[in-house]
Amino acid sequence: MNKEIRDLVYTGLLVAMALAVSLIERMIPLPFTMPGAKLGLSNMVIMVTLIIYGFSRGMLVAALKSVLLMLIIGFGPSFIYSFAGAIFSTIMMWISLKYFSRKFKIFSVIGVSIIGAVSHNFAQVTAAAFILKSLMLYTYFPFLTLIAIVTGYFVGLGSYNVASHLEKIDKYI
C-alpha cells in the first residue's frame, strides 16, 4: 500500500478513535463533581499521533476530534473550551516532546502528557474567563491542575505503551 494512503487511513482511524473515546468518556461518572474535570482519555490518541506522526498530524487529529464532537453534541461554550484546550495542549505537548523529551531528555512521555493536561485546563479556564469576562475563574485552575497531574500521568503511561507497540508494528508493515 502507498505510504501516503496508509498515513491518510491511519489519520482517519486516529480521529475516529479520539472521537469514540471522547464520547465514551462523557458517559463515565467521576467520583467527584467538578465542571471541566474529566479523564482526558482522548488525549492519549492525540499524544500517540504526536509521537508517531508529528505536529501537523497531531494538530489535525485534535482539531477534527473537537469539531466532530461539536457536530455530534452541539455547539456551545463547551465547544470553545474544548477546542481551545485541544489546540493549546497539542502545541504544548509537541514543544515538550520535541525539545524537552527527545532533545534534552528532561521529560518522559508521562511528563509531556502532564504538561498537556495542565495546558488543556489552562486554555479552558482562559477561554471561559474571556467569554464570561471574569478573572475569578482562574481561582479554579489549581484544583484542575491537581486533577490534571493525576490524569496526565495515566494518559502518558498509556500513550507510551501504545506508541511503543505501534512503532514496532509499523516497522513490519
> What digits encode the pLDDT tens for the residues 117-163?
999 999 988 998 898 888 888 888 888 888 888 888 888 888 877 87
CA distances from 148 to 45, 94, 172 (A): 17, 17, 36
**CA-CA distance, 72 to 23, in Å (whole number)?**
9
Domain extent for 139: 3-30+38-172
pLDDT at 168 over 70: no
Domain count for the chain, please give it: 1
The CATH number of the domain where 57 resides is what? 1.10.1760.20
pLDDT of residue 7 exceeding 60, the answer is yes
Count of CB atoms within 10 A of residue 129's CB? 16
Angle at 27 between CA 26 and CA 30, to 5 degrees: 85
Q: Which of 16-25, 29-38, 161-170 ranks highest by mean pLDDT?
A: 16-25
Higher pLDDT: 1 or 27? It is 27
Distance CA 162, CA 173 (A): 17
How many CB atoms are closer than 10 A to CB 56?
11
Measure the CA–CA gap between 161 and 35, rounded to whole angstroms: 30
Residue 131: HSE in the Cβ half-sphere, 13 Å Cα cutoff: 13
